[in-house]
Amino acid sequence: MIFNLLFNKTLIFSCLAILCIHFSACKEEPIYYPKPRSFPKFNLPKREYTKFDIGYCNFSFEYPTYMRFEQDTLFINQATKHACWFNLYMPNLNGDIHFTYTDISGDSLEQKIFKVYRDAYKMSEEHNPKASLNEDLTINRREKNVYGVLYNIEGYVASPFQFVLTDSSRHAVRASLYFRNRPNPDSLAPIVEFVKSDMMGILNSFEWKN
């Protein structure tokens, strides 16, 4: 009788132990997800404006002082085609706006204008494989004799904003926005929008000298 009682107690204890182990093993473990990678915080510079008016450039415009003028004297290890090739460097934002000027006066005016627009179009189209959007807008400021095309490009692209301007008779200039780091539309979005608005300011204040 005593043996049976002890046996029953031992059996009950063993069963309880097995059940505890079973439920402990089946308990759902918490799943830890990696935190999303954070992006660096940028302090956007204050906007103060000055006038771009260089003697060897046949145009002027207003631009923010956080951009620094740098003349570009070399292109692919060769002298530039005109003195009016330059960058507006943005040290705080690690970016540049590249400007290239072309004299289209003289013979074959239509061919020269066609080449200017064709080259600008080809440059924008090169971004298509990684672009989620590539739209072009016509620029027509007849009162200032400023005509051209603006290219707004979104996605993992090297140059998200470009424009080409001409007076349809003597001058043409092309500007392209670039950043000196790997393009990431998520982290760069506020900076791109910030600089785009200032590039629109350049467009709206752009004037030919003659």
pTM score above 0.95: no
Residue 181 to residues 31, 159, 195: CA-CA distances in angstroms? 35, 11, 15
pLDDT band at 48 (very low <50, low <70, confident <90, very high): very high
Q: What is the pLDDT of residues 22-40, one digit of tens each?
A: 545 444 555 544 554 445 5
Q: Is residue 38 part of a domain?
A: no
Q: What is the pLDDT of residues 118-172, one digit of tens each?
A: 999 998 988 888 888 889 999 999 999 999 999 999 989 989 999 999 999 999 9
Q: What is the pLDDT of residues 1-20, one digit of tens each?
A: 543 444 455 545 555 455 45
Q: Is residue 28 part of a domain?
A: no
Q: Is residue 135 part of a domain?
A: yes
Q: Is residue 200 part of a domain?
A: yes
User: Which ranges in the chain belong to alpha helices (H)?
Assistant: 2-26, 109-125, 185-205
Q: Is residue 174 part of a domain?
A: yes
Q: Which domain holds residue 129?
A: 49-208
Q: Tell me, what's the pLDDT at 184?
A: 76
**Domain with 98 in it: what CATH number?**
3.40.1000
Region for 28 from its dihedrals, namely left if φ exceeds 0, alpha if ψ lies in -120 to 50, beta otherwise: beta
Q: Tell me, what's the pLDDT at 79?
A: 62
**Domain tally for the chain?**
1
Q: Is residue 143 part of a domain?
A: yes
